[in-house]
Amino acid sequence: MEKVKKNGFFRKLKNSIFNFDSYQEFATETWGAGILYFLKLILLITLILSVAISVIQVTKTIPDLFNYIRNDLPQFSYSDGVLKAENDNKVLIDSDEQLIIVDTGDLSEEKVNEYKDKINLYSIGILVLKDKIYLKSPVNTSGLEEISISSIADSYGINTFSKDELVNQMNNINMIPLFISLFFAIFIVGFILISIYLILDIIILSLLVNIFAMILIIRMKPSACFNIAVHAISLSLILLLIYQIVLLTIGFEIKYFSIMYRGISYIYAFTALILIRSSLIKQKMELTAIIQKQKEIKADMERQEQEKKEKEENEKKENKKDDKKTNDEKNEDEKHVGNEANGEV
């Protein structure tokens, strides 16, 4: 198994995607290591996505908007809290999801309500009247948001305004400060939103990892489940980042991408658990073989020790016999010598 460097974020990211054997190492890490990897991963994704969105906005979206204002937006002027627009066609934009209506004439309440009903039929809608703006967005589910035009003008210190002045100001805009401002705004908002989004996914995936582990009869700590979930979601996030950039640039949309995004992380987590179980079984078999070998070695040593003791005891017995024989011979010699001294033969 390839050793994972504790402080190598990009090495961990690479191993999370290409090296399933590393997941056993990830499972042994602490809560702090998993959380730190999670935060670094969010920072990386948010950083790249913020740069991509800012570049697209500055190079494509904002220039397109400026061109629309210069060429297609009707002449308008603002003075004393009243907006006047010189447009015969009241509907400026009407697409599948967006509707923009500008009518600054003296309208009856019935006509205003008719416009509101039309706006409510779309995901995104804007109704501009002579003194108010009504906004409809997917985020605001409570209904149309009403904004006073005079309050917007007062917040920016504007008393009078016209299309020509707006075009002149657009021509003097420096794109570099605009890019920097957009980047920081998108980065801060994106980091918060992505963090909330991913925390929910990590919690769900951690619970699934725990369930998978119980099915496979693997005892795992909560920190191990969390770390496996965090690393298992790495490839999904990379693919999500690529998909979002492609969607922003060419508008290519993949149906059910969110299901595929989660499915990949589930497959990674389950595959990692299967390999961890196989590794644990292999380690257990190796440990059993080692224990059996140790038992055989111990039994052999005990047998050798027993044989050594028996040999020593036999040698002691032989020595005792030899000593006794020697003593008997000695006593016999002494007796014989005594008889000779007494004149006996």
Q: Please state the domain extents for the chain.
A: 9-54+177-284, 81-158
Condensed to tens digits (0 to 9), the pLDDT of residues 51-85 reads 998 888 888 877 877 887 788 778 888 887 788 88
Please determine, for residue 333, whether its predicted confidence score (pLDDT) is greater than 60: no
How many Cβ atoms are within 10 Å of 123's Cβ, its own excluded?
A: 12
Phi, psi of 73 (to 5 degrees): -70, 130
Categorize the per-residue pLDDT at 2 as very low, low, confident or very high, splitting at 50, 70 and 90: very low
Half-sphere exposure of 107 (CA within 13 A, CB side): 20
Please determine, for residue 205, whether its predicted confidence score (pLDDT) is greater than 80: yes
d(CA 321, CA 317): 6
d(CA 99, CA 265): 38
Phi, psi of 87 (to 5 degrees): -130, 125
Q: Which residues pair with 132 in a beta bridge?
A: 148
Predicted pLDDT at 300: 74
Q: Any idea which residue has 């220039």 for tokens?
A: 63
Condensed to tens digits (0 to 9), the pLDDT of residues 260-316 reads 888 899 999 999 888 888 877 766 665 566 666 666 677 777 777 777 777 777 777
Least confident of 86-95, 123-132, 225-234: 86-95
d(CA 73, CA 87): 9
For the residues of 64-79, what is the DSSP string, one character each? HHHHHHHHTSPPEEEE
Predicted pLDDT at 59: 84
d(CA 157, CA 147): 16
Q: Helix H segments across the chain?
A: 9-18, 22-27, 31-56, 62-71, 109-119, 149-155, 163-171, 175-215, 222-232, 234-250, 257-341
How many Cβ atoms are within 10 Å of 12's Cβ, its own excluded?
A: 26
Residue 58 DSSP code: I
Categorize the per-residue pLDDT at 129 as very low, low, confident or very high, splitting at 50, 70 and 90: confident
pTM exceeds 0.95 for this model: no
